[in-house]
Amino acid sequence: MTNINEVQGGGRERVLSLRGISKHFGAVSALTEIDLDVHAGEVVALVGDNGAGKSTLVKILAGVHQPSSGSISFRGKPVTLDDPSTALGLGIATVFQDLALCENLDVVSNIFLGRELSPLRLDEVSMEVKAWTLLNELSARIPSVREPVASLSGGQRQTVAIARSLLLEPKLILLDEPTAALGVAQTAEVLDLIERVRERGLGVIMISHNMEDVRAVADRIVVLRLGRNNGVFAPDASNQELVSAITGAANNSVSRRASRRQAQSEHPQAQAQAPETRR
């Protein structure tokens, strides 16, 4: 586990810095003294059990909620995220789990929804060219930008939502459960897309409950528990470490099973030489 205040950027620009972020809903404390840093070209996975405060933190960064206390710095300057338009204007884009796509519209219309190119009338040609250019830069597998979203797979829909978030050239993208309810092939497609977003030099915060997906793309894993920081881990941290940080229990069935598997992998010969149990 690494120190929460340890600089992890390797000389890269610190895109986001949170210090002491707390959020109260009446007498309920959803977040308490949260610290978080995200650098350019870095994927930070935000993990935790249900009720850990992950969604509340993302909504604060998206401008949906305002923190009760604490400070937010974006690209080295203190900011106040009063509403979603302020966050988007600064360069913070959010892709929520429901994606908010219009299934009856095609890919181009969804990417440019609310941001249409229209000096006098809709410039369909320019929007189509821009959509293709953006999707090609992401190596996205979309059969046609004139295809209705309703006919796309789950992974392709996630691709359209991420492409739409890149339209205004943000510096930070928040992804809420981007691989939830996707098949194996579609999940791989979305994870490849996240890699390409990182290669563009953007900071990425990814919320996920899937530890394999997290390990595949994250540079750091930040654990929240009961609305508080509970550790920052490298992606090669053991399952036991992560489960213990997420659940707060160092001795449970999952951690014991992980310990047994680790012991077996470290001493395979002893395991092979163990006498067989006759029934």
User: Which residues have a Cβ under 8 Å from the Cβ of 261 and sit 6 or more positions away?
Assistant: none
Count the domains in the chain: 1
Element (H, E) at 94: strand 92-95
* pLDDT score recorded for residue 270: 53
State yes or no: pLDDT of 242 exceeds 70: yes
* pLDDT confidence of residue 251: 58
Q: Percent of the chain scored above 70 by pLDDT?
A: 86
pLDDT of residue 7: 44
Q: Tell me the residue type at 269.
A: Q
**Residue that has been written with the tokens 């870095």 in this structure:** 42
CB 184 within 8 A of CB 216: no
Structural domain contains residue 275? no
- Top-confidence residue, 164 or 264: 164
Please, which residues bridge with residue 47 across strands? 223
Residues 73 and 65: beta-carbon distance below 8 Å: no
pLDDT at 99 over 90: no
The span from the CA of 199 to the CA of 42, in Å, is: 9
- Asked if residue 262 is part of any domain, the answer here is no
| Residue 269 domain flag | no
Closest alpha carbon to 157 in 178, 175, 176? 178
265 Cβ neighbours under 8 A, 6+ residues apart: none
Buried b (16+ CB within 10 A) or exposed e, 109-123: bbbbeeeeeeeeeee
| CA 29-35-41 angle, 5° bins | 130
Residue 59, number of CB atoms within 10 A of its CB: 20
State the pLDDT confidence band at 259, using cuts at 50, 70 and 90: low
In a domain, 278, yes or no: no
Listed in sequence order, the DSSP H helices in the chain are 54-61, 84-90, 107-111, 124-137, 154-165, 184-199, 211-217, 239-247, 253-266, 268-273
Give the number of residues written for the chain. 279
The two three-digit tokens of residue 161, written as one number: 């939502």
Q: Quickly tell me which residue has 């010969």 as its tokens.
A: 269
Q: What mean pLDDT, rounded, does the chain reach?
A: 88
Flag whether 185 is in a domain.
yes
Closest CA to 89 of 81, 97, 77, 99: 81
50: domain CATH number?
A: 3.40.50.300
Tell me what pLDDT residue 5 has: 44
Amino acid found at 132: W
Cβ 255 vs Cβ 249: under 8 Å: yes
User: What's the CA gap between 34 and 44, in Å, rounded?
Assistant: 15
Euclidean distance between CA atoms 76 and 150, whole angstroms:
41
pLDDT at 121 over 80: yes
pLDDT digits (tens, 9 = 90+) for 139-184: 888 999 999 999 999 899 999 999 999 998 999 999 999 998 788 8
Q: Give the structural domain span for 209.
A: 14-250
Q: Would you say residue 1 has pLDDT above 70?
A: no
Mean pLDDT along residues 71-75: 97
